[in-house]
Amino acid sequence: MTAPPDVLISEVGPRDGLQSVQATMSTAAKCAWIDALHAAGLREIEVGSFVSPRLLPQMADVADVVRHAVGLPGLTVMALVPNLRGAQAALATPLHKLTLPVSASAAHSMANVRQTPAQMVELVRQVVALRDASAPAVRVEAGMSTAFGCTLQGRVPEDDVVRLAVALAEAGVDEVGLSDTTGMADPAQVRRLFRRVRAEIGTRTGAAHLHNTRGLGLANCLAAWDEGVRTFDSSQGGLGGCPYAPGASGNVVTEDLVFMFEAMGVRTGVDLERLQAARAVLAAGLPGEPLYGMTPEAGLPPGFTYADGRRPSAATSTLASADADRS
């Protein structure tokens, strides 16, 4: 591409997706999937989490995966760390970005990390200090879980979310993202909350991490776009969820999110045909695991053009026509 994309699609499947399935994907299969995602044009990938392998055996090889992924040109390699020990282990690798989960819901915070939100802010402060001392080039993001509601606590007051965002910015993070962990958000709420947070912390307002639990994932992404959000988390095949948020099903599907933006004329830098090839790599690495998404099933519509003027191959157009004939 001759110009940077209009939006950054941050792929979280190798972490959020894989930790949510029972099977453990092999290291070789993870690396092959990440290679395929990179080949499709994705330039930020959350490759795993630095947690106890006893709790999440799916993430036991995260350091090896990081070392592989950092060799891919132009890729920002990101990992989640839930505590100081995880941050220390992560900063011993050559990754580019850390994400810490900080829940706006006290009930979810205790279930997820056994810390109150205030204690997590203090942890964030310690991680930022550790980053500054040992790896100042690494960015630190706080992903604010349950910002739009919690299945354990119920309603999460917006004032609490805004105050927590301010506290996290004051703790020194580079970005504060808002996460619809439980899939309870609606577009009006997404617009309102991102507008309020941006008014308080400005450019430190980070990604929209939205779920499709009730079918509003793309609508909520569009609402966040309207409010100036330009980084969106998504997961190939819609893999993901939260084991500590009952009933919270998968993330926004990367394939559908890319299609929506490209159809709107918003450049993502992602090639949908190569993304479909990456989906095949994922399926091979997780045989039998259900994958979701409307675009992969329907194909690209006849006459589809990418935002930068490119057209898909004839094979993809034929696939779309064949699907239409079967309906």
Does the active-site annotation cover 242? Answer: yes
> Collapsing DSSP states into helix, strand and coil, what is residue 64?
helix
Domain parsing of the chain, residue ranges: 8-292
* Among candidate residues 206, 278, 201, 202, the one with its CA nearest the CA of residue 239: 278
Which position among 31, 150, 221, 242 bears the catalytic label?
242
> Collapsing DSSP states into helix, strand and coil, what is residue 174?
coil
Please state, in angstroms and rounded to a whole number, the distance separating the CA atoms of residues 270 and 282. 17
Band (241; pLDDT cuts 50, 70, 90): low
pLDDT at 2 (0 to 100):
60
Cα-based distances in Å from 29 to 49, 56, 131, 213, 285: 17, 17, 30, 27, 5
Model confidence pLDDT, tens digit, residues 172-209 = 999 999 999 889 999 999 999 999 999 999 999 999 99
- Is the pLDDT assigned to residue 36 strictly greater than 80? yes
Model confidence pLDDT, tens digit, residues 148-181 = 998 888 899 999 999 999 999 999 999 999 999 8
Band (321; pLDDT cuts 50, 70, 90): very low
Q: Write out the two tokens for 130.
A: 């550790």
- Is the pLDDT assigned to residue 113 strictly greater than 90? no
Q: What pTM value is reported for the model? A: 0.93
Cβ–Cβ < 8 Å for 19, 59 = yes
3-state secondary structure 21-76: CCCCCCHHHHHHHHHHHHHCCCCEEEEEECCCCCCCHHHCCHHHHHHHHCCCCCCE
Query: 8-292 — its CATH code?
Result: 3.20.20.70
pLDDT at 127 (0 to 100):
98
The mean pLDDT value for 282-289 works out to 96
Band (117; pLDDT cuts 50, 70, 90): confident
Please state, in angstroms and rounded to a whole number, the distance separating the CA atoms of residues 235 and 205. 21
Q: Which of the pair, 301 or 250, is modelled with greater confidence?
A: 301
